[in-house]
């Protein structure tokens, strides 16, 4: 198995860095992303976010095409979040695009998982 973490502000940064997320929306986003990971036979080990982006720690087998996993995470979460939080998202003015097209994926094989978890848990989650 391999690890990937999305550190920094990508892959899941909202288009134009708008302050979209609150705690309830982040909880729903995590639920959606856990379901997507399960469908890929991967495990979302850590999830956290701030007002304009999220961080993930995903445990995945080498057979999983990372680009397909990321595209599904973004596509499925975008559809569900836009449907469930239409008023909030429209008020902020994101248009028809929720996530940016870019992402960062880094292997953390050299870093201890405890350090990566600590980084993800240390995000300034909105209340």
CA–CA distance, 44 with 60 (Å, rounded to integer): 9
Average pLDDT, whole number, for the chain? 79
Query: What's the whole-number mean pLDDT along residues 119-127?
Result: 77
Whole-model pTM: value is 0.75
| Angle, helix 66-84 to helix 23-39, in steps of 10 degrees | 140
Query: What's the whole-number mean pLDDT along residues 26-51?
Result: 93
CB 24 within 8 A of CB 94: no
- Considering just the CA atoms, what is the radius of gyration of the chain in Å? 14
Question: Would you state the pLDDT for residue 32?
Answer: 96
Least confidently predicted of 29-43, 77-91, 106-120: 106-120
CA distances from residue 53 to 11, 12, 28, 98, 109 in whole angstroms, order as listed: 8, 6, 14, 11, 23
Closest CA to 50 of 78, 91, 21: 21
Q: Which has more confidence, 29 or 102?
A: 29
User: pLDDT tens across 58-104, in order?
Assistant: 888 888 888 899 999 989 998 999 889 887 776 666 566 788 887 87
């Amino acid at each position: 198995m391999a690890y990937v973490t999305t550190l920094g502000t990508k892959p899941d940064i909202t288009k134009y860095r708008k302050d979209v997320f609150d705690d309830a929306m982040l909880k729903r986003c995590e639920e959606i992303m856990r379901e997507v990971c399960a469908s890929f036979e991967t495990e979302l080990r850590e999830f956290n976010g701030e007002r304009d982006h999220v961080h993930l720690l995903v445990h995945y087998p080498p057979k999983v095409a990372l680009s397909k996993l990321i595209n599904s995470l973004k596509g499925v979460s975008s559809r569900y979040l836009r449907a469930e939080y239409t008023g909030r998202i429209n008020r902020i003015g994101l248009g028809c695009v929720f996530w940016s097209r870019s992402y960062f994926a880094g292997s953390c094989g050299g870093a201890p998982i405890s350090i990566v978890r600590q980084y993800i848990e240390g995000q300034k989650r909105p209340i």
